Structure 1
Amino acid sequence: MKTVQVFLLISVYLGVGIDFPEIGRIVEFNAPNNKNLTTMKKNLLIIILLISINSFSQSFTEFKNDNLKIEFPETWIVLPKEKMPQLALVAYRKPENSVDRAQVTININIINIPNSSLDKTYSDLVDSISEVENFKLLKNGNVDISSQPFKWLIESHSNYKDKNQQMHNYVFVTYKNDKAYILTMVAFSEVFDTYKSIFDKISKSLIIN
Structure 2
Amino acid sequence: MAKTSRSPVLATADSRKDLDKKSARTRVRILDAAARVLSTKGYGGLRLSDVAEVAELQAPAIYYYFPSREDLIEEVMWVGLADMRAHLVAELDKAPDDSTAMDCILIAVEAHLRHELEISDYTTAAIRNSGQVPDKIRERQQVEEKKYGAIWRGLVVRAAEEGQLREDLDLYVAQMLIMGTVNWAAEWWQPGRVAMDRVVANAQSFIRHALAPTD
If the TM-score is normalised by the length of the shorter chain, which range does it land in?
A: under 0.3
Judging by fraction of residues, say which structure has more helix.
2
Structure with bigger gyration radius: 2
Q: TM-score with structure 1 length normalisation?
A: 0.23
